[in-house]
């Protein structure tokens, strides 16, 4: 156990603040890190520097679809951990035609790669971020989630139905359908698989489960697609019993997907017939009939009757890829937006093929979240301490490292993936400089050599430090990048006097 107590006096114009920071009975406390984050300085209004998007590259290899794990900074200068998928065909994914999977076709242009959030997104200053060990952002409508994603900058968007289809099809192709939090913090079929619950909610923090909770059963895969919280997708709906979607992956663009918007198209079978969902007597039939039965019900995918052949349905993971996963649908008159994946209470019904098409676009709930994705990247290549270039200059292509950092350890309270360690160390150094630190290189060495637990403790304490240093706006903004679970016992005393 360790403790640290620091007192400093700050002057800001006609005001002065004396602040005492005290942390007691804390394991793995690095006193040099904490003191560095709480140095004395004259506090004034710090002018916000222009923030340019940056990205750092970590090259990895997996069987099947090639992808990378990267950190990409948005227009607020805050990173998200993203998974890069490279262009693939329907034939490679599920034995379809040679056409490119629609997730890579946006606005009539084929993209070589797309980026998908590794974690369900959390919220920082009204924007969504893919970070480990966070509370998923819930209680938001589909339209508002889309706006929040668009606000991150060019190319950012709410995960689309086509991109969810890519994830599901990839998992099925690899034989790694994801497990997840399907029974109050645990996996229903194996209670030994569990994540870290929070707030007695039965929900788990993002990325806190084992590797089997990812799309490819590796720690660097896309986490939490099965169970925990439902996930919204953009560009798919049921209207008056008919399936409709945005063309290809155009939902990644800010097209008109309002209720009467022109961005919607019917979903067709391979013969060009409009696909509908008929519900009658607790039975569900996917067909091309002109007249359908309109009702609402749910059943396992293995019990759904599919009377048409449609490659488009397979692209969107609307088929029995997981026979026990549930398909719930409302085919009555009206507009219904789907959720995918299931919740922490769905047991064997949850899965990456689970489809819940029962709620309106305005529905919000504490068990429905979302994640962002990215279709293009603009700006300089940037770096995370020049990881993607030896001289720090702009480069057209990322430099591939000869050896990727090890991801053998899961994100968690004890061990962190190398990429997450780099982000924490870098942002703590930014905090140190914002607080008036005079030796950033020395502090960087301390941060880079700190243990995983020391980094996490310092990051958690930085949230409290930002609150008591509110006069420095940059300090507060950067520290919020370090939102992690904070289980520390803190005592903060503050006295302020008005100098007239």
pLDDT at 22: 61
User: Which residues on neighbouring strands pair with residue 82, listed in sequence order?
Assistant: 70, 117
Q: Average the pLDDT over 374-402 and give the result.
A: 37
pLDDT at 420: 62
With respect to residue 140, please indicate whether it lies within any of the assigned structural domains.
Answer: yes
pLDDT at 383: 31
Together in a domain, 224 and 138:
yes
Mean pLDDT, the chain, rounded, equals: 77
With respect to residue 89, please indicate whether it lies within any of the assigned structural domains.
Answer: yes
Between CA 357 and CA 343 the distance in angstroms is 14
Q: Pick from 348, 374, 400: which residue ends a domain?
A: 374
With respect to residue 407, please indicate whether it lies within any of the assigned structural domains.
Answer: no
Together in a domain, 459 and 418:
yes
Mention every residue, 6+ apart, whose C-beta is less than 8 A from residue 82. Answer: 69, 70, 71, 72, 115, 116, 117, 118, 130, 374
Together in a domain, 188 and 255:
yes
pLDDT at 86: 93
pLDDT at 69: 82
Together in a domain, 438 and 345:
no
Together in a domain, 420 and 331:
no
Q: Pick from 324, 353, 374: which residue ends a domain?
A: 374
Give 417's pLDDT tier (boundaries 50, 70, 90): low
Indicate the pairing of strand 368-369 with strand 230-232.
parallel
Together in a domain, 97 and 16:
no
Encode pLDDT of 249-274 as tens digits.
Answer: 999 999 999 999 999 999 999 999 99
Tell me the pTM. 0.70
With respect to residue 389, please indicate whether it lies within any of the assigned structural domains.
Answer: no
Residues composing the chain: 500
For 329, the domain range is 55-374
Together in a domain, 479 and 446:
yes
Q: Average the pLDDT over 443-458 and give the result.
A: 73
Instruction: Kindly provide the b/e burial profile for residues 108-144, where b requires at least 16 CB atoms within 10 angstroms of the residue's own CB.
Output: eeebebbbbbbbbbbbbeebbbbbbbbbbbbebbbbe
Higher pLDDT, 408 or 252: 252
pLDDT at 335: 97
Encode pLDDT of 150-167 as tens digits.
Answer: 999 999 999 999 999 999
List Cα–Cα distances, 143 to 75, 249, 363, 385, in angstroms: 21, 17, 10, 36
Count up the domains in the chain and report the number: 2
Mention every residue, 6+ apart, whose C-beta is less than 8 A from residue 324. Answer: 300, 301, 302, 348, 349, 351
Check whether 432 has a pLDDT greater than 90: no
CB 167 within 8 A of CB 215: yes
pLDDT at 449: 76
Q: Pick from 374, 402, 426: which residue ends a domain?
A: 374
């Amino acid at each position: 156990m360790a403790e640290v107590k620091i007192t400093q006096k700050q002057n800001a114009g006609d005001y002065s603040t004396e602040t005492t920071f005290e942390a007691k009975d804390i394991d793995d406390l690095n006193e040099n890190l904490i003191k560095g984050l709480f140095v004395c300085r004259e506090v004034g209004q710090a002018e916000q520097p222009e923030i340019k998007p940056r990205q750092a590259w970590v090259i990895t290899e997996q069987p099947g679809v090639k992808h990378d794990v990267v950190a990409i900074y948005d227009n607020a200068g805050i990173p998200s951990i993203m998974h890069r998928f490279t262009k693939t065909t329907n034939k490679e994914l599920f034995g379809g035609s040679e056409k490119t999977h629609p997730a890579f076709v946006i606005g009539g242009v084929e993209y070589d790669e797309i980026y998908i959030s590794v974690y369900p997104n959390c919220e920082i200053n009204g924007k969504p971020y893919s970070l480990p060990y966070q509370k998923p952002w819930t209680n938001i409508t589909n339209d508002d989630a889309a706006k929040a994603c668009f606000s991150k900058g060019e190319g950012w968007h709410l995960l689309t139905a086509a991109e969810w289809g890519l994830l599901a099809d990839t998992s099925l192709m690899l034989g790694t359908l994801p497990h997840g939090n399907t029974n109050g913090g645990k996996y229903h079929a194996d209670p030994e698989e569990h994540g870290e619950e929070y707030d007695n909610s039965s929900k788990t923090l993002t990325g806190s489960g084992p590797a089997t909770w990812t799309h490819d059963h590796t720690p660097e895969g896309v986490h939490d697609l099965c169970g925990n919280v439902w996930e919204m997708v953009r560009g798919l709906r049921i209207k008056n019993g008919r399936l409709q979607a945005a063309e290809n992956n155009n939902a990644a663009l800010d097209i008109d997907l309002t209720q009467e918007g022109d961005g919607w198209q019917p979903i067709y079978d391979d013969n060009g017939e409009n696909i509908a969902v008929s519900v009658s007597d607790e039975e569900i039939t996917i067909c091309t009939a002109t007249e359908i039965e309109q009702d609402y019900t749910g059943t396992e995918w293995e019990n759904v009757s599919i009377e048409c052949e449609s490659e488009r349905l397979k692209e969107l993971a609307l088929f029995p890829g997981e026979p026990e996963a549930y398909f719930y649908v409302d085919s009555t008159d009206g507009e219904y937006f789907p959720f995918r994946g299931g919740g922490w209470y769905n047991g064997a019904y949850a899965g990456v093929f689970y489809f819940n098409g029962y709620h309106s676009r305005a529905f919000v709930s504490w068990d429905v979240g979302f994640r962002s994705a990215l279709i293009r990247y603009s700006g300089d290549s940037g770096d995370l301490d020049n990881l993607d270039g030896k001289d720090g200059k702009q480069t057209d292509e990322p430099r591939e490292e000869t050896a990727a950092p090890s991801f053998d350890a899961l994100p968690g309270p004890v061990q962190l993936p190398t990429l997450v360690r780099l982000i924490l160390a870098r942002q703590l150094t930014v905090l140190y400089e914002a607080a008036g630190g005079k030796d950033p290189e020395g502090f960087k060495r301390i941060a880079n050599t700190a243990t995983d637990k020391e980094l996490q403790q310092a990051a958690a304490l930085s949230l409290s430090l930002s609150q008591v240093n509110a006069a420095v706006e940059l300090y507060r903004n950067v520290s919020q990048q370090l939102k992690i679970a904070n289980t520390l016992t803190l005592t903060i005393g503050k006295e302020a006097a008005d100098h007239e």
